[in-house]
Amino acid sequence: MDFFQYKNGELFCEGVPAEKIAREVGTACYVYSKATFLHHYRQIADAFKPLSATICYSVKSCGNINILKFLAAEGCGFDVTSGGELFRALQAGGEAKKMIYAGVGKTDHEIADGIRAGIAAFNLESEEEIENVDRVAGSIGMKAIGAIRINPDVDPKTHAKTTTGKKETKFGVDIERAERVFEQYRGLKNLRIAGVHTHIGSPVLEIQPYVDAVTKMVALIDRLSEKGHKIEWYDVGGGFGVNYEGPQQARPVTEHAKALVPLLQGKPYKIAFEPGRYIAGNAGILLTRVLYRKQGGEKKFVIVDAGMNDLLRPTLYEAYHHVWPVKPEAKNLNEDRRRDFVIQGGDTVDVVGPICESGDYLAKARALPPVKRGDLLAVFTAGAYGFAMSSNYNNRPRVPEVLVDGDSYKIIRKRETLEDLVALERV
């Protein structure tokens, strides 16, 4: 459920017409709905309340400081994955004690910054990293806390590039090796290892992969406990899928909780989750205007002012994003944003950007209601990994981010200028 809805035939974000934002802010631009962020965060927090779970929003999915601020005010913690994300989360007023720090390649500098900030824990991904965190903590005369990220060898049934919980990905310590690693690093001088972590992939549309991973992990924690390792928390990770293609594509978090809570309730360790996409995905759209239409061979193209530098997911993962006019004719309203909606009139087109690559597209072979030059289109479910993965490729200034709250909106990140593009270059 989100707060992007058609009212009287035109798209609104909460109480604000999308067309008004586009007119005043220009296109392309990202538009976020605060109510949607909060709704999804609260839905997760409520679903896992029986576990008193800590929810650490994954900053990498959509990390504008303004968004982190209102999530922190709700009591949300953060999952960070670089020194930059740690800095950002702290700037937003996030409590270091509710931050966990993952990633296979933390540098000494980043590790020291994390320890000094007082983060809750590092998620440790390899033996060499464990040794290094212990060493870095010692070198600055401080203590670190960590969980070992375990690779449970579970197939999350998602895109190969975002599968992380299967063997032969670079993530975590193989589950078979886990007990040995806990044994080997028992009683380190400067690093206390007291938790376990998993993150199987993203987006995960089904429940079973989580059930499989959690079942394996609960058994592992039992074995570790028998051997005298005190496991204080289990961080289940993120990855809950969202509806890109229509209302029934992903399982709501309440269903995940129904399956997972019984497996985890009453355990003598704390539980954490690290959702990003579930909170941010449907809380953001990308607004873009039609620049031109053209035909190439048999193919029809709609050329818009947003490109793969603004939203990389279609190009990188062949990801589907629903693209629809902000003011469609009544017969083409498609309020549920269904992929299988049968359009009246219109055409099958590629919606492409201005970048000099054939891979620059937002939608391929897509049935689109009739559009013309100047029409405004919305690219839905772009809140997670949309702006976050945008770049300046082709020297395109990054687009602004707008946050709607009820009947008003604020620009929470300005459009970059041409001067910004060269600002760091020294001649």
Would you tell me which residues interact with ligand LLP (CB under 6 A)? 58, 61, 79, 102, 162, 199, 202-203, 237-240, 274-278, 313, 317, 384-385, 389
Least distance from ligand LLP to the Cβ atom of residue 195, Å: 13
Dihedrals phi, psi of 247, to nearest 5 degrees? -70, -15
Smallest distance, ligand LLP to C-beta of residue 311, A:
9
Spatial distance between the Cα atoms of 231 and 221, rounded to a whole number of angstroms: 7
How far is Cα 41 from Cα 427, in angstroms, rounded to an integer? 47
Structure tokens that stand for 213 in this block: 């991973």
- The full DSSP string for 20-65 is HHHHHH-SSEEEEEHHHHHHHHHHHHHHTGGGT-EEEEEGGGS--H
Element (H, E) at 412: strand 408-413
DSSP one-letter code for 414? P
For ligand LLP, the closer of residues 205 and 333 by Cβ is: 205
**Closest CB to ligand LLP among 157 and 293?**
157
Positive or negative, the CA dihedral 117, 123, 129, 135 is positive
Cβ proximity to ligand LLP: between 123 and 288 the closer is 123
Which positions ≥6 away from 384 have C-beta within 8 Å?
A: 61, 62, 242, 276, 277, 279, 280, 281, 284
CB of 7 to ligand LLP, least distance (A): 29
Q: Scanning the structure block, which residue is given the tokens 């309020």?
A: 335
Which is nearest to 368 in space by CA: 342, 388, 394?
342
Kindly tell me which of 203 and 209 has the beta carbon lying closer to ligand LLP: 203
Residue with tokens 């990994």: 385
Tell me how far, at minimum, the Cβ of 229 lies from ligand LLP, in Å: 22
Would you name the residues annotated as active-site residues? 356
Nearer to ligand LLP, 162 or 334 (CB): 162
Question: Would you say 114 or 203 has its CB closer to ligand LLP?
Answer: 203
Q: How large is the C-alpha radius of gyration of the chain?
A: 23
Give min distance, CB of 61 to ligand LLP, in A: 4
CB of 43 to ligand LLP, least distance (A): 13
- Closest to ligand LLP by CB, 276 vs 369, is 276
Q: How far apart are CA 61 and CA 245, in angstroms?
A: 19
Cα(1)–Cα(115) distance, integer angstroms: 38
Quick check: bond before 203 cis, omega within 30? Answer: yes
Minimum distance from CB of 232 to ligand LLP (Å)?
19
Distance CA 175, CA 59 (A): 27
Min dist CB 170 to ligand LLP, Å, is: 11
Q: Helices 34-47 and 65-73: crossing angle, nearest 10°?
A: 40
CA 56 to chain centre: 12
Cα 319 to Cα 192: distance, rounded to the nearest angstrom: 40
Beta bridge pairs of residue 287:
29, 378
Report yes or no: 381 and 313 within 8 Å, Cβ to Cβ: no
Cβ closer to ligand LLP: 204 or 287? 204
In 183-253, which ranges are E strands? 191-197, 233-235
